[in-house]
Amino acid sequence: WLLQAKNAKQDADSLAGGIAQLHSEGTPYGDIAVVERANSKLVNLSASFEKLGIPYLLESAGLLRTREAALVFAGLRMVADRSDSLAAASVLHLLADPEQDTPDWIIERLEVLQAAREMEIKTGERTYPSPWEGDERFTQLDLIDKTVSSPTVVLQQVIEALNLADQISRWGDAPRRCANLDSLLRHSSEYEELQLGSGHAATLSGFALYMGQLVDDKLDLRFPPLGHDAVTLMTYHGTKGLEWPVVVLSGLDKEWPPRMWNPMVGGGGQNPERPLEGRVLQSWIWPFGENKSRYGHSLIAGSGLEEDALVTTEGIARADRETTEGQRLLYVGCTRAKNKLVFAHREGKCRWLDKVPRFAELIDSGLEPGEHEIAGVETTVFVRKLDQENALELAREQEPEQRWIASAEVAERIDYAKRFYSPSSVGVVEDLDGAGNDERSFDTTDLPGESYFPAGAKEEQYADVGNAVHGYFGALPSLVNVDTASKSVVAERCLSAFRVTGVIAPEDLVATGERFTEWVLGEYPSATWHTEVPATGPRSSGGQWNGTLDLVLQLAGGGVVIIDHKSAPIKRDVCAKHAAQYTEQLLAYREMLAASGHDVHSCWIHFPLAGVMAKQTAL
């Protein structure tokens, strides 16, 4: 792709136009990845993608600048403090028609304040009613009890109270807006875990301050919508080990100078007895400071020191090393494509690409647009010229930026006892009425078929494998009348969403779901399935349980069955012992449901990959 551009913004717009053309020719967005040298370049690309309405996957800051997240956050502030007139006004403003010159809520508020002032003059008494008190638009928010729910639960209730599902469908771009709401809930969960780990209570006001700090640090991330048809934006380093049908390589216009002022480690490792022998740490300190801008940091020039450093022995060695590393990085990018590899750069400006031996001999960048043969290679090169003007013909109007006043920092924090406890983090039981982690407290049943173990999975991938398995099992009730091929597609999407494609075959994941479904139908034939059930309840030793149950079976004759999935890749003969580690977790789930008036019939640990059901027998 030859970009007809003169600056970085035009580069990004032109490249986005090329992506739009690929999609119009039949390439799904999810099959495309765009690779850049730095995250700052990806942010520029994302802005161009948004103008053209191209969905993309990129962790980027600015969550609370989105309409839906700002609306929910304002609603949460109202629940925390019903007298917060700014929060109430923000809710009405974000729900209002943006085309109105003077929103109705401003007129309403001024009329109420004027009436209150006249009453004060008449009676001599000042009243302080809550803003829009009794207004039916806030009725559902007023019903939320902040004293018994965690910030995450309150956020979920605010989303329901404001009818965000309908609002988002009217605003458009529903998948991305839903992902933004998921991101807000994820930040809330991370805040609660942080407070839990530090022994502090998770409160609504505390969460508001936490999000304010994230905004200041530009860490209010919008996490990508997993599993959606969207273009992936990544750095060259981040693509290692991944593949896409179409890969677009960007950032080819210049070489990257040696990073002389960054620490570097080299040498050593030849002697296993003394691995640090010969190791060298080089760290040169730049003495003249940096310029900071929206585009990053740059050295304050003028001393000539930066040029002098490059001609030293160390500078030459560093340049050679980073040139070699740059070629390796470019090789990584080139080998990520399964079917189509795109080099995107301005005409005649591809200095990084020119470092590749024989590249100019194979592909002549001066070729006219169209398809051309490559001598001696069984493929073709297709030249396409892209410009900003043609790309912007596809642009849509950008959403105006939302602004609000952030809360002030708290000068001092008071230590409180824990309020919320997660059943999944209670840990291994050492002894509980003689049961403890004794494998005899569980009876096991082997499911038909073989055990499945992740092929070549690394330890750091186990959590992602577990998330993929949980995602598929959460979808089982909706797959009852779906054929096997369609189930495989769902399984593949679950694996792809957590980047563990190839670790487990989709057909194997489907097989684990089939045998589990058959077991449930045989054991509890008339039960109603409820997956991913959020639950909360009082904790007998103080505080509140707050967690999510993988599966609750509601029995026709009354009572419920609790089933928790554990995706550990273990052998069948150790499943009972492994299940005993979760004794206290199951007891916590039992306690939560019992407090809600449910009769818990039994509790099970399900090992999908091993193919074992473990029933808790000791309470």
Q: Provide the 8-state DSSP code for 7.
A: S
Q: Sorting pLDDT into bands at 50, 70 and 90, what band is 494? A: very high
CA separation for the pair 179, 181 (Å, rounded): 5
Q: Sorting pLDDT into bands at 50, 70 and 90, what band is 606? A: very high
Beta strands in 227-271 (DSSP E): 231-235, 244-249, 264-266
Give the DSSP letter string of 471-505: HHHHTGGGGTT--HHHHHHHHHHHHHHTT-BTTB-
- pLDDT value, residue 224: 67
- pLDDT value, residue 414: 58
Spatial contact of 255 and 351, defined as CB atoms under 8 Å apart: yes
Number of neighbouring beta carbons within 10 Å of residue 85: 15
Report phi then psi at 124, rounded to 5: 80, 5
Helices (runs of H) and strands (runs of E) counted in the chain: 20, 23
**Residue 540 reports pLDDT greater than 60:** yes
Return the structure tokens found at 246.
């179409």
CA separation for the pair 264, 281 (Å, rounded): 6
CA dihedral sign, ordered 236, 242, 243, 244: negative
Q: Sorting pLDDT into bands at 50, 70 and 90, what band is 332? A: confident
CA separation for the pair 281, 182 (Å, rounded): 43
CA separation for the pair 93, 12 (Å, rounded): 33
CA separation for the pair 240, 342 (Å, rounded): 17
Q: What is the pLDDT averaged over residues 537-564?
A: 92
Q: What is the mean pLDDT of the chain?
A: 82
Angle, helices 174-198 vs 204-216, to 10°: value is 110
- Domains of the chain in start order, with CATH, are 63-222 (1.10.486.10), 427-616 (3.90.320.10)
Q: Which positions ≥6 away from 343 have C-beta within 8 Å?
A: 1, 249, 252, 350, 353, 363
Q: Which residue has the tokens 């809930």?
A: 185
Q: Edge to edge, what strands does the sheet with 337-343 contain?
A: 56-57, 231-235, 32-36, 244-249, 337-343
- pLDDT value, residue 577: 92
Judged by DSSP in three states, 424 sits in helix
**Residue 435 reports pLDDT greater than 50:** no
For 515-523, the CB contacts below 8 A with 24+ separation are 515/447, 515/448, 515/449, 515/611, 516/447, 516/473, 516/476, 516/606, 516/608, 517/476, 517/480, 518/448, 519/445, 519/447, 519/613, 520/553
**Residue 303 reports pLDDT greater than 80:** no
> Which pLDDT tens digit goes with each residue over 463-491?
889 999 999 999 999 998 899 999 999 99
CA separation for the pair 330, 429 (Å, rounded): 50
- pLDDT value, residue 430: 44
Return the structure tokens found at 434.
């003689």
The residue among 494 and 252 whose pLDDT is bigger is 494
Q: Which residue has the tokens 């797959």?
A: 479
For 319-328, the CB contacts below 8 A with 24+ separation are 319/258, 321/258, 321/266, 322/256, 322/258, 322/259, 323/255, 323/355, 326/255, 326/256, 326/352, 326/355, 327/355, 327/356
**Residue 292 reports pLDDT greater than 70:** no
Q: Which residue has the tokens 């039981």?
A: 429
